[in-house]
Chain A
Amino acid sequence: MVALTPISRTAPSFYVPVVAAFGAFFGVFIGTGQGSTIGGVLGGAILMGVIAFVLTKVAKNERVSRWGLTLLLAIGGFALAGLPGLFVGAFFGWFFGFLIFWLYEGRYRAKVAPYLTPGQVLWHFSFRTLCGMIFFFLIAPIIIVMPLSFNAENFFTFTPEMLRFDPAGYSLKHYRDFFTNDAWQDAVKNSLYIAPVATLLSVSFGTLAAIGLSQPHVPFRRAIMAILISPMIVPLIISAAGMYFFYSRVGLQGTYIGVVLAHAALGIPFVIITVTATLVGFDNSLTRAAANMGANPVTTFFRVQMPLILPGVISGGLFAFITSFDEVVVVLFVGSAGQKTLPWQMFTGLREQISPTILAVATILVFISICLLTVVELLRRRSERMRGMSPS
């Protein structure tokens, strides 16, 4: 929806008050930080209003004005609050420079439909700002643990040294702890022993069953599907309780095999869902053609069907892997100290008061999930391309 609305410069009576309002809004924070809210509001409004007018009517050159403003506010910020203030000031300078010329040149209208009323344009941008804030809410907690994990102190917040960007405030000691501490290393090892085996089990059983389920005539399809999906729906605490009771009856509680079986059961729904979704686009005449040319069912499966549904199988496998690798409730109950996995170790770390090594682990895990996400996304696109369902 790229509407090319002709744009024209706006009058100072429009953009000066708007910029002043923004100035007043940010002035609240600086004002309260310095001790006077009212002073902040008035100062911000007047300062920004004047700057807006001067830059557009006196300086006129956009590049020079924006760089100048950024530099000016950066110096102002540094004077007020030191190094962190410098960055905050520079950001404000960049933002107001952008805002002033965006409004002044009328660029804000360029990409919205020409027939919108000013109120609708305002709503359009407020809505985007709101969405931006929600995206910020989604992503900020994950981002914020990363710098904190380089904390030189055993604190869970930014120390003054960190805010001053003092190299002494940062260290790799939590990472060092993670890589040398036996408890963490055993936990990693256990996770890596359990997750791949559980994944293998759920992928091999799950793929076969998904192929069976996508045949045209399956008796009790709905009921079977409901049973196979149920590990995903039943609350984990109930699965964990049931498995704890049942596995201790049959002697699997506290054993490696018990944990692997439990995790495999939990991973199965993900494999079923992704593989059946891939099989929806599978052309069954291909297997018939293969059979026609003399291939037996096993050859047909491995040479024709498998390569085509492989992306779905792999992403199902990744889901199953991450389910097992992330799982903590069931392993808490079904496992014993010998099966202490990484999430378990994190959970105990979080409950008993706690070392920032957890943040280092969290950062590493975020990078692992970024990798997994990339792989799954690429596979999904590939599989859609192969089925001619490519997104634009």
Chain B
Amino acid sequence: MSDAPTAQTASSSAAEARIADAAYTGPMLAADGTPLKKSLNRALRLQKMRALALIAPLLIFVLVTFIAPIADMLFRSVENEIVSETLPRTTTLLANWDAKGTEIPDEAVFEALYDDMFYAIEAKEHTKLGGRLNYELTGMASLFRKSGRKVEDMGEVYQDQFEGLDAFWKTGENWNSFMGSDEWLASMAGWTKADGRQPKFKLREGMADVLPATTATYLKYAAFTQNEDQKNLYTTDPWAIVYSSLHKDLTGENALADYAGPAAEQLKAGAAAATSFETVNFSEAFLDIDKKWHDLDVWTTIKAYSPKLTSGYFLNAIDMQKSVDGAEMRPENQQIYGILFYRTMKMSVIITLSCIMLGYPVAWILANLPARQANLLLILVLLPFWTSLLVRTSAWKVLLQDQGVINDTLVWLGIVATDDRLALINNQTGTIIAMTHILLPFMILPLYSVMQTIQPTYLRAAKSLGATNWTAFWRVYFPQSVPGIGAGSILVFILAIGYYITPAIVGGTEGTFISNRIAYHISSSLNWGLGAALGAILLAAVMLLYYAYDKIVGIDNVKLG
């Protein structure tokens, strides 16, 4: 390989290159001639893209399966569309009503309420709305349920009068003959159920000008009958509300004078007679159904919950309520969430403190024993950590019962009397004992990993400089172990305030947490909005702590086992 000429050539060409380099004063170039800076930037960008491409599938997965549900829950805590969707006209009219006054809304509002309720009842939405408003004012659910049966009959006054005037008005075929377009009527004539989808209802041209209110009502009725009820529209008799709309048109503004289509004769006869029809006072009619409809509270509640977004759930979650003068505290005897939040916090603090007290000596001894013994003892910490949460909870249920192992042992030893057994379960004591046991490994493991890094020589140095044992520990060792205490405490506290299973099983009524209340609202009382609002407050607290944890420990430094 020691070929002299070759080596010489190489070195001389290298020298030439150096000369060329010296002569070239432009930006530094990469092998392919692009400027080096640009080329490096591109490489970096490529690297970033590759990293992101690897992360993207998981990120999308977590966003869809986890973050979206959380966002949905947060949205539900302020969402309140049901009132304005079920009672659109009523809520619009209520906007102008003075809620602070002493007058109940006027006849126009009640008429709108009749309209809205009628559709809601047909779609069976009114009980849902009643249930929603019942969270705010007790008695609303029964009011709406009760009204449901009777509102349908209210419009029959007009229906009966029209039908009494002319039998023409009795059947759906006759109505369709002038409401429907010729084309639709033709396709409907040959249609049977076997043909599949019903031809969609088409309005006769010009009808919207002739009878505006009737048209609007009839379109709704037609769409509902065809899509929701799946009935043959052509042969179905119209709703009572169609007759009240017709009455409104015939006595009010219409363009009947120029109308010459089908049924013009009957319509004109109707218009002549309608002016002398017996009318319905909706305000009185609602009063007949239930006195509560003239109750000011009912109307202020409906008005307060008309907007599409509401702070009502959050106010409820902090023991406040909406009133005409804005938010106010609930009466003393209805305040439960403040107490519950306070209890959750207090018990989590107690659990965290007992974990520190029990975890610190254990972590110390693990960190100061020879590795072999420490590893053996570590198994005693890791085994509970790996054991199913339900196993540990059931163990505590067995141990803490009145007739359980602990009480039996105490009775056997004669420390407590048989009829004076300690109440260890279904109260706060039970929750604190069981949760301290369950969360203790989460305190010991971070403490241990911090204490492992503390040099024992510091302690010996302090002692050789004359410190007493206590001073050496308190001034030298303890400050170095504080990060471990911080990490462990935040972890234990975060886990504790969100705990559900253990308090549910050993907590009884006294030892339950806010989580248990959230679960109750979601699965039993079905007040999802309130459950979501309570959840949002809890989530905010946890996020704050998570942020602190990230600042103190860093998420990357979380260790498992």
Chain A positions within 8 Å of B, measured between CB atoms, are 1-2, 29, 32-33, 35, 37, 120, 123, 127-128, 130-131, 134-135, 137-139, 141-142, 144-145, 148, 155-158, 201, 205-206, 208-209, 211-213, 215-219, 222, 224-231, 233-247, 249, 261-262, 264-265, 268, 270, 273-274, 276-277, 315, 319, 322, 325-326, 328-329, 332-333, 343, 346-347, 350-351, 354, 358-359, 362, 365-366, 369-370, 372-373, 376-377, 380, 391-392
Contacts and interface: CB of A to CB of B under 8 A. Distances in A.
Given A141-B399, A235-B515, A370-B383, A347 B58 contact: no
Contacts of A270: 560
B62 A328 contact: no
A157 B58 contact: no
Contact of A141 (B70, B395, B504, B555): B395
Contact of B361 (A134, A158, A236): A134
B539 A235 contact: yes
Given A135-B380, A209-B59, A238-B73, A144 B399 contact: yes
A346 B505 CA distance: 11
A26 B441 CA distance: 31
B100 to A, nearest CB: 36
5 closest A-B pairs (Cβ-Cβ)? A235-B498, A212-B54, A32-B414, A242-B69, A246-B69
Classify chain B: how many residues form its interface, as a range: 35 or more
Given A142-B387, A241-B532, A359-B398, A265 B66 contact: yes
Given A362-B388, A370-B386, 15 more contacts: A144-B405, A208-B58, A218-B51, A228-B58, A239-B69, A241-B518, A242-B72, A243-B66, A249-B72, A347-B505, A365-B387, A365-B388, A365-B390, A369-B387, A391-B371
Interface of B: 44, 47-48, 50-55, 57-59, 61-63, 65-73, 76, 358, 361-362, 365, 368, 370-371, 375, 377, 379-384, 386-399, 401, 403-405, 408, 412-415, 437, 440-441, 456, 469, 494, 497-501, 504-505, 515, 518-519, 522-523, 528, 531-532, 535, 538-539, 542, 546, 550, 555-556, 558-561
Contacts, number: 291
Given A211-B54, A217-B44, A137 B358 contact: yes
A208 B539 contact: no
Contact of B65 (A2, A35, A148, A261): A261
Given A241-B518, A373-B382, A328 B501 contact: yes
A343 B388 contact: yes
Contact of B412 (A33, A212, A273): A33
A198 to B, nearest CB: 11
User: Which of A158, A215, A319, A359 has its CB near the most chain B CB atoms (within 10 A)?
Assistant: A215
Contacts of A135: 362, 377, 380
A103 B236 CA distance: 102
A157 B404 contact: yes
Contacts of A231: 62, 66
A156 B73 contact: no
Contact of A247 (B63, B69, B395): B69
Contact of A236 (B48, B393, B441, B498): B498
Given A33-B414, A227-B63, A350-B505, A141 B437 contact: yes
22 contacts: A2-B370, A127-B361, A138-B440, A141-B392, A141-B437, A205-B57, A208-B57, A213-B51, A224-B59, A235-B497, A235-B499, A236-B498, A236-B500, A239-B66, A245-B73, A274-B560, A276-B556, A343-B388, A343-B390, A347-B505, A370-B386, A373-B386
A229 B560 CA distance: 13
Contacts of A373: 379, 382-383, 386
A346 B387 contact: no
User: Which of B69, B532, B555 has its CB near the most chain A CB atoms (within 10 A)?
Assistant: B69
A241 B533 CA distance: 11
Nearest to A35: B414
Given A209-B54, A229-B558, A329 B398 contact: no
Contact of A138 (B380, B403, B560): B380
Contacts of A208: 54-55, 57-58
B244 to A, nearest CB: 37
B542 A145 contact: no
Given A205-B58, A234-B542, A141 B396 contact: yes
A333 B535 CA distance: 15
B518 A237 contact: yes
B396 A219 contact: no
A213 B305 CA distance: 47
A244 B397 CA distance: 29
B388 A369 contact: yes
User: Which of B55, B68, B531, B535 has its CB near the most chain A CB atoms (within 10 A)?
Assistant: B55
A372 B441 CA distance: 17
Contacts of B59: 209, 224, 227-228
Contacts of A362: 388, 390-391, 394-395
Contact of B70 (A29, A212, A242, A377): A242
A237 B498 CA distance: 7
A238 B392 contact: no
B531 A205 contact: no
Nearest to B413: A29
Contacts of A156: 397-398, 401, 403-404
Contact of B55 (A134, A212, A354, A380): A212
Given A206-B58, A358-B394, A142 B377 contact: no
Given A233-B546, A326-B389, A209 B413 contact: no
Contact of B522 (A37, A244, A328): A244
A165 B449 CA distance: 43
A131 B365 contact: yes
A229 B498 contact: no
